[in-house]
Amino acid sequence: MNRKKNFFAGPSVLPLEVLQEMHDGIMEYKGAGLSIVEASHRGQPFEDMYHQTLDLLRELMGIPKNYHVFFLGGGATLQFAMIPMNFLRPGTVADYIKSGTWANKATADAKKIGDVKVYYDGTSNNFTSLPDAKTVKPSENSSYLYLCSNETIGGI
């Protein structure tokens, strides 16, 4: 097979060994007699995969046992709402640097949840620059400063 290379902002090329393991797991998961995508989320094959994934993630990221790990659907755009839901405290603001498409969407979602101050808006220069990091001074009552550094559609 003539494998192509890509430099996409999203999915990347996977090693053939990974693709083969995925293929095998989709056809039949570890002798379970069915594919993992067909297995019940309450069944033993799924439970085993879940606990193995959790253990590997804890090991890789150094997550202590007294911390809970959530596996959430929704992708990166879910975080546009999850960040302010978890970090924006009552009586404070969230400072946002609008650096492109994703930051604009994140700002709009955050405004639905609480008070947002647009610290910097790159719209007027077509998102071709950012404020100098040495000069950035968040609001006195800021819970956090949001910056999307991976503007894959349009922006920095």
| pLDDT tens track for 130-152 | 999 999 999 999 999 999 988 88
Q: Is residue 152 part of a domain?
A: no
pLDDT for the residue numbered 4? 83
Indicate whether 9 pLDDT > 80: no
Q: Is residue 153 part of a domain?
A: no
- pTM of the entire predicted model: 0.70
Using the 3D structure, point to which of 29, 50, 71 is the last residue of a domain: 71
Q: Is residue 61 part of a domain?
A: yes
| 53 and 88, same domain (yes or no) | no
How many Å apart are CA 146 and CA 39, to the nearest integer?
39
| 41 and 89, same domain (yes or no) | no
| Element holding 104 (H helix, E strand) | helix 101-113
| 87 and 126, same domain (yes or no) | yes
pLDDT in tens, 54-81: 999 999 999 999 999 999 888 889 999 9
For 47, the domain range is: 1-71
| 16 and 80, same domain (yes or no) | no
In what side-by-side order are the strands of the sheet with 93-98? 116-121, 93-98, 142-147
| 66 and 87, same domain (yes or no) | no
- Counting the structural domains of the chain, the total is 2
Indicate whether 47 pLDDT > 90: yes
Using the 3D structure, point to which of 17, 41, 71 is the last residue of a domain: 71
Q: Is residue 156 part of a domain?
A: no
pLDDT for the residue numbered 155? 66
pLDDT for the residue numbered 34? 87
pLDDT for the residue numbered 31? 87
Using the 3D structure, point to which of 71, 106, 130 is the last residue of a domain: 71
Give percent above pLDDT 70 in the chain. 98
Mean pLDDT of the chain: 92
Task: State the average pLDDT over residues 82-87.
Answer: 96
Q: Are 92 and 122 in contact (CB under 8 A)?
A: no
